[in-house]
Amino acid sequence: MKKFFFGLIIGLILATTFSATAVTNEIKLIVNGKTIATDVAPVQINGRVMVPARFVAEPLGASVQWDKVNNAVVVTNKINDISSNSSPYSDTIVENKGEINMDDWIDLKGFIQQSGAWVTSGSQLFIEKDDFKLTVAYSDIPNYNEPYSVNTSKGKLTIIRINGRVYLNINDLKEIGLLPQ
Q: Residue 173, exposed/middle/buried by CB under 10 A (0-12, 13-18, 19+)?
A: buried
Q: Domain of residue 167: give its range.
A: 92-175
On whether the CB atoms of residues 109 and 82 are closer than 8 A, the answer is: yes
Q: Which of 28-37, 125-134, 138-147 has the lowest mean pLDDT?
A: 138-147
Q: Which amino acid is at 24?
A: T
Determine contact, residues 139/148, Cβ cutoff 8 Å.
Answer: no
The pLDDT tens digits of the residues spanning 36-92 come to 888 888 888 888 888 888 887 777 777 788 888 888 888 876 544 433 333 333 333
Q: Is residue 11 part of a domain?
A: no
Residues 109, 55, single domain; the answer is no
Look at the chain and report how many structural domains it folds into.
Answer: 2
SS (H, E, C) 26-67: CCCEEECCEEECCCCCCEEECCEEECCHHHHHHHHCCEEEEE
On whether both 102 and 169 belong to a single domain, the answer is: yes
- What mean pLDDT comes out for the span 136-148? 77
In a domain, 164, yes or no: yes
Among candidate residues 17, 45, 76, the one where a domain is terminated: 76
pLDDT in tens, 105-114: 888 888 888 8
CA–CA separation, 133 and 153 (whole Å): 9
Residue 151, domain member (yes or no): yes
pLDDT of residue 171: 92
Residues 169 and 96 in one domain: yes
**One domain, residues 131 and 169:** yes
In this structure, are 112 and 158 located in the same domain?
yes
Same domain, 123 and 165: yes
Question: Which residues contact residue 129 at a Cβ distance below 8 angstroms, ignoring those fewer than 6 apart?
Answer: 115, 116, 117, 118, 178
Q: Could you tell me if residue 96 is inside a domain?
A: yes
- Contact between 43 and 50 under an 8 Å Cβ cutoff? The reply is yes
Q: Is residue 150 part of a domain?
A: yes
95 contacts: CB under 8 Å, gap ≥ 6: 144, 145
Tell whether pTM > 0.85.
no
- Terminal-to-terminal C-alpha distance of the chain: 91
How far apart are the C-alpha atoms of 127 and 149, rounded to whole Å?
15
Model pLDDT, residue 16: 63
